[in-house]
Amino acid sequence: MSLTARALTRSFGRHPAVTHADVTLRPGRITGLVGPNGAGKTTLLLLLAGLLAPDSGTLTLDDEPADSTRLRSSVGWMPDVFGTWDSLTALEILETFGRLHGLSRSAARDRAADLLRTVHLEDFAFRSAHELSRGQKQRLGFARALVHRPRVLLLDEPASGMDPRSRVDLRDTLRSLADDGCAVLVSSHVLSELSASVDDVVFVTAGRTHERDQRAGHRWRIREVGSPESGADVRDFPDEESAAAHLAEQVSAGRRIAEFTRVDTELEDEYLALEADRT
């Protein structure tokens, strides 16, 4: 299922939060949503999730107009802060959301148990939400977004507060979901992690979206044994095969290569090139 937004706008009183947003989320792909604080990312996510009505613009699912009811049934939404009933246990929370999405009591309980295992919270199934740590609440929030097996998944800073192991698990799970045909949108300020996990990127500044400049290939860092960090050579290659061929040539020529790695700051460089204000 694909989700497409065209020319979305949304204001709060006299304050325009989203002034023109175009987004296309395709099945099987993970898209990164990048922008400074106050750029309108969260408002845009709420519009895509059907939780806010746009002032103007269109939203379609598989090229068919999508109202808020259809969006909520098809889209999984994970906000940046876990908000629910603190007195309920992790299992009860997931069961409740399963029931709200039309599952039978037994099906909701089975789905909740499966998701708790997925996010490694099975040992906390009977703990009240207020007893969970920040990272554990994030994992529970991720599970909650998956209760109804959405075909489109929207996540706002999902890894915030998670430990490194949980971040890796999250990244692997998102890729698995995408491989199964889910369309995923992730908003994050951790550009190094985002760069390593997304297929597409949408930038947002001052409420407007910008398509990523799709430059061919990637930059690679090459450093010989004994050379200082500042003496590394940085070169562009169109694909991994070309990079590997160059490395083989250098080794065959007798160069002692100590470091040959893809530069992971490309997304950060593109973000800074937008001259986004720090707000």
The pLDDT of residue 83: 80
Residues of the chain with pLDDT under 50: none
pLDDT of residue 257: 93
CB 205 within 8 A of CB 35: yes
- Rounded-to-integer distance, Cα 193 and Cα 171, Å: 9
Residue 114: what pLDDT? 97
Distance CA 267, CA 194 (A): 8
Q: What is the DSSP letter of 182?
A: -
Going by C-beta distance under 8 Å and a sequence separation of 6 or more, which residues neighbour residue 9?
16, 18, 19, 20, 21, 54, 55, 56, 57
- Enumerate the β-bridge partners of residue 205: 208
Look at residue 108 in the predicted model and tell me its pLDDT: 97
Task: Identify the H or E element spanning 8.
Answer: strand 3-12
Query: What does the DSSP 8-state code read for residue 229?
Result: G
Residue identified by tokens 């002692």 is 256
> Which superfamily is assigned to 3-211 in CATH?
P-loop containing nucleotide triphosphate hydrolases (3.40.50.300)
Q: Minimal CA–CA distance to 111: which of 73, 71, 149?
A: 149
The residue ranges of every structural domain in the chain are 3-211, 218-273
The distance in angstroms from the start CA to the end CA of the chain is 35
- Please say whether the beta carbons of 170 and 158 come within 8 A: yes
Distance between CA 179 and CA 19 in Å, rounded?
A: 33
Q: Tell the residue number behind the tokens 């098809």, with chain if given.
A: 74
Question: What is the distance between the alpha carbons of residues 162 and 34, in angstroms, rounded to a whole number?
Answer: 19
SS3 104: coil
Q: What share of the chain is helix, strand, coil (3-state, %, to 5)?
A: 40, 30, 35
Q: What is the pLDDT of residue 91?
A: 97
Closest CA to 1 of 178, 147, 175: 178
DSSP code of residue 128: B
Measured in residues, the chain has a length of 279
Provide the pLDDT for residue 277.
Answer: 53
The C-alpha torsion from 69 through 189 and 57 to 24, rounded to 10°, is -80
- pTM, two decimals, is 0.82
Would you state the pLDDT for residue 213?
64
